[in-house]
Structure 1
Amino acid sequence: MRLSRPALAIAATLGLSLLAACGSSSPTSGGTSTATQSGATGTASTPLPGAVGIDAVTATGPLDFTTAPKVDFTKKPVSTSEVTSKVLVQGSGPESTTKDTVIIRAQIFNGTSGKLVDNGYEKGRTTEGFRLGRTDLIKGFAKGLTGVQKGERVAFTIPPSEGFGTAGNQNIGIGPNDTIVVVADVKDLHASLTEVTGNQAPSPAGLPKVEFPKGPTQAPTVTVPKTAAPTKTEQATLIEGSGPTVQKGQTITAQYHGVLWKDGSVFDSSWQRGAPADFPIGVGQVIPGWDKTLVGKKVGSRVLLVIPPADGYGSQGMGDKISGTDTLVFVVDILDAY
């Protein structure tokens, strides 16, 4: 399931991504963002002639997540063959791992010119979260934020081979040979749930039956009643989580499984792909049926949704599997909200 409409998020803490996540106008999965766009692969980058490393980057000013640091390049170009980092302000507590979601404010620079290409401190921006285990994150971005601590200010480089590759990203002013420099202030970090646990309540009468014969880490079996589909969106919390309440505008991490009411056929499933999905909620970036039901739920909950076309993909349907008259059934496990 993809976003309800294409969303270019050249704002998302990096200018490094096209933010696409579970819930768009196509029922296949995917997802990219300035920080999320699968990192480049191939041979290691070669630093530019006369290049210097991350030690040439300094940042001064309070670390209060309100005031943007003053970032300077003592020399240019900053260009590296691998991700390199330097702690500018020491944090405390556990170091982040790929199992964690890291909450940051960041400034992003072109290491060749020193030009600021994305400013997470500009008016209207707030802290942004990134689950480091996402397979769609820029590889160098995830590497640079692995091993950080709460309260830390860190600078790190992302060479082309760990970023946008030889294509660069002209939309944000990154050329094919440019190393990206990130200065990030780490507000918090936490581990996402890996599965939803608890005693599952039965589905309400008239709604599909949900079973997990292989446990909560594998796709469920959904049995749809042989009756007419509901004409309005229906929801049921099968397991009530004990985590934070999902707020409008947050990004949620979820496992989900979608079938058609008419025949029970699967049209999309993050469980079947083997990895949860991340997407903004309550802001029109997913189908209306998700925005209307998942805001206000608690992390750790399992939710059953039945969504008619009006709250799904409308009369146009989506792709080859979902027609304009199809009612959708989802099972959603909410693993995180940030």
Structure 2
Amino acid sequence: MRRRAAAALVVPLSALMLGASSCGVIPEDWRTPAFLKSDEEQLDERLPTATGPVGEEPEVSFPDIDPPKEQISGVVHKGEGESELVRSDDMLLVDIVDYDWTGKGKTEKVQSTYETGAPMLLQLGQMTEELTADLIDQPVGSRVVYVFPPSDPTTGQPSEEGTTSVSVLDIRGRYGKGDVVPGEQTTDGGGDLPTAADAGRAMPDITIPDADPPKELETVELVEGEGPEVESGQQLVVQYTGVTWNDGEVFDSTWTRDGTPATFAIGVGQVIQGWDEGLVGQKVGSRVMLVIPEDLAYGENAEASGSPAGTLVFVVDILGAVDTQPAPEPSDQPEASAEPEASASPDGE
């Protein structure tokens, strides 16, 4: 549960691919027959090769040519199995390795999520068709190589000057609409706490008991997950529904947004305190009911800020927990300006 419903979803992506998609479309000059669709059997011979198993950093070899002047891409390894095909509205868990390609035989690795140990979450619905064409309908475990020619940083248009960028993207997992944890629900709660029967792939029906709400945070494990424990600072991928204790009415739910999973950082104050305290330490794959007292939710002035008041009850499916990228190392270069930069608020506004 975000602090405000209007908070924007932050989608982590390599700086390279962000730059290529910042204008919303690939420039016309880049739309050439060299852009290969994923169902074509033959790859453009100008594409670098990337070998080794998905899940390990690939060995990348570049052809002995000058970098291409247009954007090209292709699936260089197809994952096994057809049960985990990527859909156009999925969120993907990926590893990315980026290279600069400055000339014939001149390449340099820029960054690798394999080295940082922190894969990325990509929301395909927020990316351009040119970037997602080689991802959609591919099985998890596939590998895609992208080549981006230089572009003007101010206009996003192709430029004769600059560096060609190469991204090798490994699809490690996917999260889709309506996804829930796979385990069996062993309890519905109850007693002096709410009940939430297993609703399958539908929004859970949370029933509030005829009792006073607890004064302390209560955590009930409805489904016991088998994954690793959630750690502070990770990005969680969840389905959730929240109701108020006072009337049992739903005030927020991923199910009212077509069952699209939500993602946010946990344990760092991005969400209400009851979530930070109640979800850190839970296992991925768990379904957890949280009963959060007012002081760990939105506080006594919740209504004034348009937030739900009093004790809140959530049912949360923990679909995934992803380590975040480490903060960039401080630069030794002097700052260009003494003017302070505007900082974003914790909820992205």
**1:238/1:138 Cα in 2 relative to 1: closer, same or farther (>3 Å)?**
farther
**1:60/1:156 Cα in 2 relative to 1: closer, same or farther (>3 Å)?**
closer
Q: Which of 228, 245, 263 pairs up with 1:245?
A: 228
**1:187/1:216 Cα in 2 relative to 1: closer, same or farther (>3 Å)?**
closer
AA aligned opposite 2:187: A
**Structure 1 partner of 2:144:** 154
Structure 2, gaps ≥5 residues long:
36-43, 323-349
Q: Which of 103, 106, 115 pairs up with 2:97?
A: 106
Q: Indicate whether 1:97 and 2:85 are aligned.
A: yes
Report how far residue 222 of structure 1 moved.
1.8
SS of 2:274's equivalent? helix
**1:93/1:332 Cα in 2 relative to 1: closer, same or farther (>3 Å)?**
same
CA contact (8 A) 1:203 1:210 kept: yes
**Structure 2 partner of 1:289:** 274
**1:175/1:148 Cα in 2 relative to 1: closer, same or farther (>3 Å)?**
farther
Q: Which of 279, 283, 292 pairs up with 1:307?
A: 292
SS of 1:47's equivalent? helix
Report how far residue 286 of structure 1 moved.
2.7
CA contact (8 A) 2:12 2:122 kept: no
Report how far residue 277 of structure 1 moved.
1.7
**Structure 2 partner of 1:17:** none
Q: Indicate whether 1:128 and 2:106 are aligned.
A: no
CA distance in 2, matches of 1:49, 1:238: 50
**Structure 2 partner of 1:9:** none
- So what's the TM-score if we normalise by structure 1? 0.64
Aligned ranges 1:61-80 → 2 under 5 Å: 74-75=66-67, 77-79=69-71
CA contact (8 A) 2:25 2:130 kept: no
CA contact (8 A) 1:98 1:131 kept: no
AA aligned opposite 1:261: W
**1:267/1:30 Cα in 2 relative to 1: closer, same or farther (>3 Å)?**
farther
**Structure 2 partner of 1:85:** 74
Note the alpha carbon deviations across 1:137-164, whole angstroms, 9 max, x for none.
Answer: 56554444443774x76322589xxxxx
CA contact (8 A) 1:251 1:279 kept: yes
**Structure 1 partner of 2:312:** 328
- So what's the TM-score if we normalise by structure 2? 0.62
CA distance in 2, matches of 1:187, 1:207: 41
CA distance in 1, matches of 2:95, 2:129: 17
**Structure 2 partner of 1:32:** 10
**1:190/1:271 Cα in 2 relative to 1: closer, same or farther (>3 Å)?**
closer
Report how far residue 31 of structure 1 moved.
1.5
Aligned ranges 1:258-273 → 2 under 5 Å: 258-273=242-257
SS of 2:255's equivalent? helix
CA distance in 2, matches of 1:29, 1:35: 18
Note the alpha carbon deviations across 1:99-149, whole angstroms, 9 max, x for none.
Answer: 6844313327799xx9999734598x33314366x6445655444444377
CA distance in 2, matches of 1:329, 1:239: 16
Aligned residues: 290
For the aligned residues, what is the CA RMSD?
Answer: 4.7
**Structure 2 partner of 1:19:** none
**Structure 2 partner of 1:22:** none
**1:158/1:265 Cα in 2 relative to 1: closer, same or farther (>3 Å)?**
farther
CA contact (8 A) 1:204 1:236 kept: no
**Structure 1 partner of 2:341:** none
AA aligned opposite 1:107: D
CA distance in 1, matches of 2:81, 2:307: 45
**1:86/1:142 Cα in 2 relative to 1: closer, same or farther (>3 Å)?**
closer
Note the alpha carbon deviations across 1:289-336, whole angstroms, 9 max, x for none.
Answer: 22222233233322110122433344553885415x532211112233
CA distance in 2, matches of 1:49, 1:143: 13
**1:335/1:67 Cα in 2 relative to 1: closer, same or farther (>3 Å)?**
closer
**Structure 2 partner of 1:176:** 156
Report how far residue 251 of structure 1 moved.
3.1
CA distance in 2, matches of 1:271, 1:41: 31
AA aligned opposite 1:27: A
User: Which protein is bigger by CA-based radius of gyration?
Assistant: 2
AA aligned opposite 1:210: A
CA distance in 1, matches of 2:30, 2:122: 31
